Amino acid sequence: MLYVMVKLRSFFLLLFTLLFSSALLWAQSADQLYAGGRQAFTDGLWQTASSQFSRLLREYPEDLRADSAAYMGAVAYYNDGEYQNAIDVLVLFPRRYPDSPWNQRVAYWEGLARYEKDDWSRAASAFEKQTRITEDRTYRERSLLYLGACWENLDNLESAERIYTTLIDEGRDRDLIARAVFRLGQIRLSDKRPDEALDAFTLMAYDYSSSPLAVDIEYWIAESRRRMGQDEKALDSYRNFLSTVYSSPYRSFALLEAARLASNARYDDEALAYLDLREEERSPGPDEGKPSVLRIRAASYMRTGQISEARSAYTGILKDPLDDDEAQTAAFNLAQTWLGGSSVLSAVPYLEQAGNGPDGRISADSLYLAGTILLHSGNSRGVVVLERFASENPQDNRREEALRLAVKSWRDENDSNRAVEVLNLLVRDYPQSENAPSYLFLRGEIALESGDSSSALRDYGRITREYNDSDYALESNSRIGFIYSDRKEFVRAAGYYQAAADLAGGVHGGEKGRRALYSTAVAYLNGGRADDAVRLFDSLVQSEPSGPWSVEAAFHMGEALYDMEDYPAARRAYEITTRYGDSDWVFEAFYGIGWTWFRELNWGKAAGGFNKAADAAVNSEQKARALYRVGLSLASEGNWENALTFYDKALSPMVGNWREEALYQKSWALLNLNRLDEAGETAGMMADEFPDSELPPDLPFRMGENAMKAGEYAEAVLWYDRCRNDFPDSDIAVQADLRGALAVRAGGDAGAAAERYGAWVVRRPDNPGAASAARSWAEALKAAGNPDAASEALKQVSSLDTGNNSLSSPIVLAWARIMGIPPESRELLENLAGDESLPSAERAEALLLTAHRYRMDGSTERSRQLYEVLIRDVPGRIGAEAQEGVARSFAEEGKPNEAAEAYLAVPYLFPEQTDLVSRALREAERLYREAGREDEADKIHSRIQ
């Protein structure tokens, strides 16, 4: 055991000795670390250098060479690809070593590190910071170059161009300047400024030809010229490049572009030679330029007459086209290889494919050729193709011919919709064509037949404006007039009908001219210009009374004159119709004559006119209608018995939309004959036949109104009650109930009237007329002067839950006056006086009665305050009563002189209240005589009327 312990102690002693020796062996001084790091930096051992400098900074942070160690360590990190470590050191460098001379370069290396990490924005900030340090031009110029690259990567081409320009203008390093010139050209080329790019590339070619970037500069000059549209000069530049540069990444592109330009310039052999050379030099693998190669070969083969090779090339292009443009061109050109031979139909699929392409010119040629080929081969699908060609190519000079073929085809197939579509194109694009009016008119007719009056109007209107000398102008004007008449724009329609009449020759223009003039007059009549209508109607009648449209004109002239209330002239016009018209016109004319006499209140002649109409009637409805008017004419002159006879004749056929009115008039006649039961039966018939009619309750109500006018109030009450009882659910029954109360009041029974008004209000507190009825109730109560009735009325109105005082106010006021303003009335009156929702007159009366109550209670001072408010603010009777109340308050206080003066103020303040003025003067006279002032009493007495 002791032996083991000795062995373990010896082992640990040896281990400690070895560790101590190792620490002494590996420990390095700051000089050693710096020197080692610098040597590794010089030898390009970047990882070793960064490790050494990192140890120095970690173990000897206060060393005077720490800033140099940090700087070179960061550069070593950058060169070793550890960009984030470099950034971490460089970002903190200015703060840790503010006085270090390496601060002149730190921003540059930070920018490089961020540039490598694609952090363009922060890299640009670092490089921009470095460019502001002008002491080291090398680093400034490098920073400018990288700053421009950052702006390019950020798509800020304007800033990049400005930076490169600054480097070119201020730089000294020709290599950097050459790079800036090259990038400047690239920016301008990508910014679609090839002319400015050409200036930059030319400058590089002449002033910086030794730069490695200048080797391919002729290619870029050619590209710039190509994009400028200088194809011939671009081709020369490509030739120069291809003849001098045999190894370049751009050589294949140059050969392809040179071939394309040569082909476009019709140098087909040269173009094919370039393509052959490109094929020889091209490395194995996919060829991105194959579609262009095929296109160039195809075009050159076609022009050199190698049709089979061209067809093969175009077929190859169509298998994998670069884009829609290429596919379209290839399809069209492939179709050309089939034209002129016996297999011409083989071209159609390719022509139709080309017709779907983006190039309008190629599409137009393809569609036209395809449509023509199909039509000539008897395939009707060619119409659809030609129609599409026409719609997509409005300016093509072959278009009208294509449209004509399409219209013909669709009309042959009776497809109006498609025919209109093609007509739209013809009308729109060929206004100078000799057939333009017919296109417009045909399209207008189709639109009108389909109910599209707006489109028809547009077409007819264009004919009248642009082709007024054509054969279609007259009918177009008439069609426009018809459309505007249908739209109720009658005066506007009249203008077009008149234009049609003028074109046809008016009244002397035969059937067309007279029809157009008649239509003009009808439009004026419907448009409210009756004078113009009558003038034109008369011209037709006077020129030839029995001629075309004269009978119609005479009748409508009569209608117009009737509406103008020129009844004699209307009769003369109707009489012309009766002489020359057929049976339908004769009936209407006699019926019109009857109305003229009716309007002139000549009931006998009116009945005669309607009788003639009944004799001329051609159907039962006409006859019944005329007989009804005969009865109405007789009733109007009070001939009720004869009127009933004609009413019965008119009603017996059970026809006509005037039956409701006829039943009403029959009931009215029976009521006037006091045949009440029959009148009720007739009214019942009317109610059964016309359940929604509002006329039955009107009959007893109307009788009540007539009785009221005649002063027969008792009879009026009977009729009003009958209306109310027989038709309780009608609106007019409610009105009749109220009118019955008025009739009772007018008959002198105020108490009974009050009961009726009260019952009406209690049953209908929400009726809009309830407040007015309540006031009538109050007036009737005051006229009756019955305290019991007044108290009962107050109870009734107080039980109503109306939410306001509009119904109770007049009843409370009436009750208070009738009951002599009892003590319990004061609270009610004060409440009404303070209710601003009530009419001002009711509030004023409530305040007056309140003042009276205060005076009766002995509060004369308070009563006078209220009286004075009323005297000042309320004119009329209330104010006069208030002034009288002031006088009474003084009298009750034993102040006769003040009372007399107050009475004497009434005539001056309220002279229009004559009854109160007389009463006030008598009271003043009495007070003066009681006081022994006889002279003054005599003077007052002389004023009393």
Can you tell me the mean pLDDT for 478-489? 90
In 3D, which of 632, 599, 602, 601 has the Cα closest to residue 614? 632
Dump pLDDT digits (tens) for 761-798: 888 888 888 888 888 988 888 888 889 988 888 898 88
Query: Per residue in 691-727, is it b (16+ CB within 10 Å) or e — as a string?
Result: eebebbbbbbbbbbbebbeeebbebbbbbbbbbbebb
Judge whether 169 and 139 are in contact, CB under 8 Å.
no
pLDDT at 543: 84
3-state secondary structure of 558: helix
**What confidence tier does 134 reach under pLDDT thresholds 50, 70, 90?**
low
Task: Tell me the residue type at 886.
Answer: V
Query: Per residue in 902-934, is it b (16+ CB within 10 Å) or e — as a string?
Result: bbbbbbeebeebeebbebbbebbbbbbeeeebe
Judge whether 548 and 511 are in contact, CB under 8 Å.
yes
pLDDT at 86: 92
Q: How far apart are CA 58 and CA 53, in angstroms?
A: 9
In 3D, which of 877, 810, 823, 873 has the Cα closest to residue 852? 823
Can you tell me the mean pLDDT for 883-894? 90
Task: Tell me the residue type at 206.
Answer: Y
Instruction: Identify the residue with better confidence: 811 or 608.
Output: 608
Six-digit token pair at 634? 């007789």
Task: Tell me the residue type at 921.
Answer: L
pLDDT at 658: 83
In 3D, which of 822, 914, 840 has the Cα closest to residue 877? 914
Helix (H) or strand (E) holding 389: helix 381-392
pLDDT at 35: 93
Dump pLDDT digits (tens) for 859-871: 889 988 888 988 8
**Phi-psi bin for 653: left (phi > 0), alpha (psi -120 to 50), beta?**
alpha
DSSP character at residue 136: -
With a cut of 60, say whether residue 49 has pLDDT above it: yes
Can you tell me the mean pLDDT for 346-370? 88
| Domain ranges for the chain | 35-103
Q: Any idea which architecture 35-103 has in CATH?
A: Alpha Horseshoe (1.25)
Dump pLDDT digits (tens) for 682-724: 877 887 888 777 777 777 888 888 888 888 888 888 888 888 8
- Confidence (pTM): 0.49
Dump pLDDT digits (tens) for 195-223: 988 898 898 889 888 888 878 889 899 89
Judge whether 545 and 578 are in contact, CB under 8 Å.
no
Judge whether 295 and 329 are in contact, CB under 8 Å.
yes
Q: How far apart are CA 739 and CA 700, in angstroms?
A: 12
pLDDT at 2: 28
pLDDT at 44: 92
Q: How far apart are CA 470 and CA 905, in angstroms?
A: 94
The Cβ of residue 91 has, within 10 Å, a number of other Cβ atoms equal to 16
**What confidence tier does 519 reach under pLDDT thresholds 50, 70, 90?**
very high
Dump pLDDT digits (tens) for 380-400: 888 888 888 887 888 888 888
